[in-house]
Structure formats: C-alpha cells, structure tokens
Homo-oligomer: A and B are copies of this chain.
Amino acid sequence: MTELATSIVDALQGVVGSGNAVLHEPRFQGNEQRYVADCIASTFVSSIGAYVERFEQALAEYTGAKRAVAVVNGTAALQVALRLAGVKADDEVIVPALSFVATANAVHYLAAVPHFADSEETRLGLDPGALREWLTRTAERTGEAYRNRHSGRCLRALVPMHTFGHPCDLQGLMAVAKDFRLALVEDAAEALGSRYQGRHTGTFGQLGILSFNGNKTITTGGGGAILTNDERLADHAKHLTTTAKRPHRWDYVHDEIGYNFRMPNLNAALGCAQLEQLPDFLASKRRLYERYRAAFAGLEQVRLMQEPAGCESHDWLQTLILSEDVAEQRDDILAATNDAELMTHPAWRLMHKLPPYRDCPCAPLPVVESLARRIINLPSSAGLV
C-alpha cells in the first residue's frame, strides 16, 4: 500500500469510523412504513393512486418546476424528455463523455446518436467554452438547425449532467444552446437538492430529469421524474409515459407510440416519505462534507470537490480528485479503501471508450481523459456522521 493510500484510509476512518461504509445507502426513518402500508391497504399499488400525484406535487413544490411527472426511472425520464424536446431518429445529441451510461442510452433508445463533449476540471460538467469552440468548427447551419458537418446529422439537443450533484455552468451552456439552436435537457439525476444561482437544477432547460434509484439521495426503489415549466410538455409527458392512451370510459385508443413508464403508486408512497426527509439528508451530507474537508485538508495530492461558485451543491457523492502526479496510484487507493471496507469508486469509464459507443462523434476530450484517471468517490450516505 502506498503512503498516500494509507493516508486516505486513515482520513476516511477518522471521519466514518473503523466499521464498513458503503458508497451510498438510503435511510428510512420517516413515514416510509406508514405510507407504504397505507398504499397496500388501499389496494392502489399500481398505475393509479394518490401517492403518485402527491409525490409529483411535492417534487414540483420542492424544485420550483411548474410540473413534475413521476416515471419508472431516470433513464426512462431522459428518454421521454429528449423525445419531447424534439429528438428524432438519426439526430445527434451532445452529452458529456463523463457520465453514467444511461445518459447515452436514453439517446440511443430514440435511434439518435450521442455526441460526446468535454467537461470542466472544477465542476466536472460540460465546458461551455470548449463546446462553443468545438461547435464553431464542427456545426453548420442548415435551415432552422445546425448539423454536424462530418456526419451530416442534425445536432438537436444538449444534455448537461450535474456530476455527483455539482451544477454545471448553466449560464454558459444555455448561451451555447441558444446560439446553436439546441434544445436544453438537463440530466439532474444526481442533483436533487442542488441549486444554481438560487434555482433548482433541472428547471433551466426546456425539460429536466431526476432519478430516485436506490443509490440516490432519496429513493423510490426505482424511479425518476421529468421536470418542466411547460404545462403542455408536462401533459404530453404524462400521456407518453402512460402508453399514450386517450381518456375514454372504456375504449382503447393509443394515438401515438407511448411507453409503460409510469411510476407505480407503491414506489411513489416510499418517495413521499423520503422527500419529507430530504432537508435532513442534505444537512447530514453537508456535515459529512465538512468533516471530509477537515480530514483531507493536510493532503496536498488530493482535492475534495467543493460546490462551484454561485451554487448550492448537495454533494450526492463526495469526490476526491487526485493531482496528476499521483494519478497512477488511483487503483492502489481504490484497493486499499475497499479492502478496509470503505467503499470507493472511480469515475465511470468514459463513454466514448465503451464498446457500444466507440464510433460515436466526439469532441476533443483532454479534461475528462485526465479527470477519469483521478476521480475517487467516497462513502457519502446521509447519516454517516
């Protein structure tokens, strides 16, 4: 074990104790049992039920979005949001190379093509300056849209992802989206509770999405939501995610190709209870951040991710970034911490290197190529300290 790995294990144990700690686990200390039991007793566990509406209203209230539509998971939310933003077969959608694979998969499910772009070193999210430069070289105007002059495909949408909960430079990205006629769809799967200039992430784009997977700050088992300030898009999202069946007393008419993507009422019941505790979870995660900050302050070769200027970031996953000169020690550190039952993870494999996405269009990626070798996520559960 290297000296640095030992120091990191010590620092972590100083914060979370000498027991084991997973990367992120949920807590159920509120009304979860009560609401779920009530949901089962009502017999409305599936497509219809009061908890879905209540969860959607509570999400809209919390995020400030005009509407929230609860769905079966974040991937489904992104797929539908992109379709509503106008993404069609054979379009290109600009996504960060540094993201969970679902960001690209959602594009692929629409028979569109992900186009990977670089991130900022400090925020980890898409870099508007580098993107503007890339598009200036790569995109050409054709009618109302821009197309990729190499592939000939239409560039339709831009998907900023708020990595580990840290908001992207939304102002810069909104300007790029405007100038290149790209629909802005925010992948805020990791960013429930995070704000940019006082406003909740996921509410800046035409549409945004959240995830409530088991590893997220709040969970519904599996679940996600579409956020939008456009009532018409919200109604359409509801229609598409409930098989596009026209309302009728008995007749079955589906007027377009929809999805079986509604969130079951059972899962929404869990979500209602979880959302009530979100402020406590965020406060707990903030305490953890402060403890990590103190613990890692003396280690010059690592930097603990902090919230970007002008943002409140809820630090979904606490993140150490190794300096370039110790990057080759990353796997030693991962091994040492996991051997000590302190679960740590590297960043995702960059998407342009995954077998199914190797041939997709790609901007130069110097920053994420480097970041991907230097990121280590730390145990981040609410309630750890």
Contact = CB atoms under 8 A, between A and B. Distances in A.
A374 to B, nearest CB: 15
Interface in A243-257: 243, 245, 249-257
Contact of A250 (B33, B221, B338): B338
Interface in A165-220: 213-215, 219
A213 to B, nearest CB: 6
A270 B334 contact: no
Interface string A36-51: 1100110111111000
Interface in A68-121: 72-76, 89, 100-102, 105, 108-109, 111
Interface stretch (A225-233, A297-305, A344-352): A344-352
Interface of A is mostly: loop
A262 interface: yes
Interface stretch (A5-13, A20-28, A149-157, A275-283): A20-28
A47 B264 contact: no
A243 B37 contact: no
Given A264-B221, A264-B267, A214 B334 contact: no
Tell me the number of copies of this protein.
Answer: 2
A86 B265 CA distance: 34
A64 interface: no
Nearest to A347: B252
Contacts of A213: 46-47
Contacts of A33: 37, 40-41
Contacts of A89: 111
A366 interface: no
A356 B254 CA distance: 8
Interface residues of A, number: 66
A345 B270 contact: no
Given A48-B214, A251-B346, 6 more contacts: A26-B46, A27-B43, A36-B37, A105-B243, A105-B258, A250-B346
26 contacts: A28-B40, A37-B37, A45-B214, A45-B221, A45-B270, A46-B213, A46-B214, A74-B260, A89-B111, A105-B259, A109-B109, A214-B264, A221-B264, A221-B266, A222-B264, A250-B334, A250-B345, A250-B346, A252-B346, A253-B349, A253-B354, A254-B354, A254-B355, A257-B356, A266-B267, A266-B270
Closest 6 CB pairs of A and B: A46-B214, A221-B264, A221-B266, A75-B260, A222-B264, A252-B348
